[in-house]
């Protein structure tokens, strides 16, 4: 029988990306005693590989009609804006907003899509931008297409990670260097032993929440559960570091039902910025060699923004795998996901499926806890003999340096 000191806490979250950090803040605000464990660095993996878009689903309507995906997240920008004002479920007042709007542009006549964007169906979520209201990059004589402003916004993800972590400095711990051992009682109730140089502590929460993105698959295997099943959907994104003076946050309309090209702009220091390229380009890039994908990205930028000269830019690519709950035919999930491990353990498995749905994920987790009668116990936040994990670097810092 183990003599490890037992640490009682309501919830233990495993995974320090945006999902885990948001859940930590949200659950503590609901009164739960909660801590978070991270294996490497806060924000590593999918979180800092994201473009920081908080969107309301219009980019999922490029077939010219609203869809389940677009409607599932229609109210997310407003939810996040309340948090950014300090009036929402999580306090994000310290987060840097890179852009209050996202733009949608065409390189010429967009036909049916133009009519849809002007329809009552999307009123309040999309507005046409006239010549006087265009941002500097679209005031060039070479631009002759249509331009729309979306309610979407773009956040600086490193500042988001830092803000969420700094509100709970007493509850975030690094597993680096710690020995971990999972134990399941006959009832299925899990405990986790953490071994350090100073001894072993046993975590015995009412529930674990696995919020480790792609790492959830390994956690499920470790505890002997095969459900919920996970899928991976790959992307191959392009990063361009340059001194062009104008930022761009926008989708370019194409013939596909996804944006032909999505660009977000991120500060890189030294008067430079990084354009992070996604959309259909990133999907087409899967399986391509970096040099071939960069050549395709250069071609796309020249075709879609011919008046833009990035000068002596530096280029790199990033392979990303989106981890999500498995869907039929590997389709993109419409909602955030949280459900109990299929072996009856006290482990919730959670994927936000996209950054913008983190608030929905928190509501889903709280609902699952409520279904099992797991309420805040009033316990204090325990102290573990573990260090605090560092913040991860952005992909462009890794590729180009700070």
Q: What confidence score (pLDDT) does residue 75 get?
A: 85
H or E segment and range at residue 140:
none
Residue 1: what pLDDT?
42
**Least confident window among 136-145, 345-354, 387-396:** 136-145
Q: Which residues contact 120 (CB under 8 A, 6 or more apart)?
A: none
Average pLDDT over residues 379-401: 95
Domain topology for 6-46+161-229+327-400: FAD/NAD(P)-binding domain (3.50.50)
Which two three-digit tokens encode residue 171?
A: 């509850």
- Please name the fold of domain 53-155+232-325: D-Amino Acid Oxidase; Chain A, domain 2 (3.30.9)
- The pLDDT assigned to 64 comes to 44
Q: In angstroms, what CA-CA distances link 363 with 22, 27, 96, 209?
A: 11, 10, 24, 13
Where in the chain are all domains bearing CATH 3.30.9?
53-155+232-325
Give me the mean pLDDT over the 107-116 stretch: 55
Alpha carbons 32 and 40: distance in angstroms, whole number: 25
Least confident of 116-125, 166-175, 210-219: 116-125
CA–CA distance, 122 with 128 (Å, rounded to integer)? 11
pLDDT score, position 113: 52
Task: Check whether 120 has a pLDDT greater than 70.
Answer: no
Q: What is the pLDDT of residue 190?
A: 97
Residues of the chain with CATH 3.50.50.60: 6-46+161-229+327-400
* Helix intervals (H) in 126-232: 157-166, 215-222
Percent of the chain with pLDDT over 70: 90
336: three-class secondary structure by DSSP: coil
pLDDT, greater one: 69 or 164: 164
Q: How confident is the model at residue 90 (pLDDT cuts 50, 70, 90)?
A: very high
Query: For position 109, what pLDDT does the model report?
Result: 52
Mark 324-356 as b/e (b = at least 16 C-beta within 10 Å): bbeeeeeeebbbbbbebbeeebbbbbbbbbbbb
Mean pLDDT rounded to a whole number for the chain: 90
Q: How confident is the model at residue 146 (pLDDT cuts 50, 70, 90)?
A: confident
Q: What is the pLDDT of residues 362-388, one digit of tens each?
A: 999 999 999 999 999 999 999 999 999
pLDDT at 187 over 90: no
d(CA 333, CA 147): 29
Strands (E), 211-345: 230-242, 250-252, 261-269, 272-278, 314-325, 337-340
pLDDT at 345: 92
- C-alpha 195/C-alpha 270 separation (Å) is 43
Give the model's pLDDT for residue 57.
63
Does residue 117 surpass a pLDDT of 70?
no
Is residue 3 pLDDT above 90, yes or no?
no
Most confident of the following: 63-77, 181-195, 254-268: 181-195
What is the per-residue pLDDT across 60-80, written as a single tens digit (0 to 9) for each?
544 444 444 445 677 889 999
Q: What pLDDT shows up at residue 119? A: 46
């Amino acid at each position: 029988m183990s003599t490890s000191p037992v640490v009682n806490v309501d919830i233990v979250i495993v995974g320090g990306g945006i999902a885990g950090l948001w859940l930590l803040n949200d659950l503590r605000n609901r009164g739960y005693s909660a801590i978070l464990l991270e294996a490497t660095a806060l924000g590593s993996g999918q979180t800092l590989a994201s473009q920081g878009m908080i969107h309301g689903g219009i980019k999922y309507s490029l077939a010219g009609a609203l869809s389940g995906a677009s409607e599932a997240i229609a109210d997310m920008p407003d939810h996040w804006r309340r948090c950014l004002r300090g009036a929402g479920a999580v306090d994000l007042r310290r987060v840097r907003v890179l852009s209050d709007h996202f733009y949608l542009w065409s390189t010429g006549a967009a036909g049916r899509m133009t009519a849809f964007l002007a329809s009552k169906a999307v009123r309040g979520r999309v507005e046409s931008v006239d010549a006087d209201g265009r941002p500097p990059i679209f005031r060039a004589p070479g631009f002759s297409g249509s331009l729309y402003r979306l309610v979407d916004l773009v956040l600086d993800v490193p500042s988001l990670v830092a803000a969420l972590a700094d509100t709970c400095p007493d509850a975030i711990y690094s597993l680096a260097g710690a020995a971990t051992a999972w134990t399941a009682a006959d009832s299925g109730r899990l405990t986790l032993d953490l071994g350090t140089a100073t001894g072993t502590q046993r975590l015995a929460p009412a529930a674990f929440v696995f919020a480790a993105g792609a790492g959830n698959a390994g956690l499920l295997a470790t505890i002997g559960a095969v459900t919920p099943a996970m899928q991976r959907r790959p992307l191959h994104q392009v990063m361009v570091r340059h001194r062009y003076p104008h930022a761009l946050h926008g989708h370019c309309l194409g013939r596909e039902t996804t944006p032909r090209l999505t660009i977000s702009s991120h500060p890189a220091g030294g008067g430079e910025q990084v354009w992070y390229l996604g959309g259909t380009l990133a999907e087409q890039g899967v399986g391509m060699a970096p040099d071939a994908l960069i050549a395709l990205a250069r071609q796309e930028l020249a075709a879609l923004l011919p008046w833009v000269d990035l000068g002596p830019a530096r280029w790199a690519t990033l392979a990303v795998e989106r981890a999500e709950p498995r869907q039929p035919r590997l389709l993109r999930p419409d909602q955030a996901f949280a459900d109990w491990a299929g072996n009856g353990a006290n482990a919730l498995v959670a994927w936000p499926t996209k950054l913008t749905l983190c608030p929905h994920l928190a509501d889903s987790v709280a609902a699952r806890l409520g279904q099992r009668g797991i309420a805040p116990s009033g316990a204090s936040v325990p102290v573990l003999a573990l260090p605090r994990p560092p913040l991860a670097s952005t992909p462009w810092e890794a590729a180009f340096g700070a």
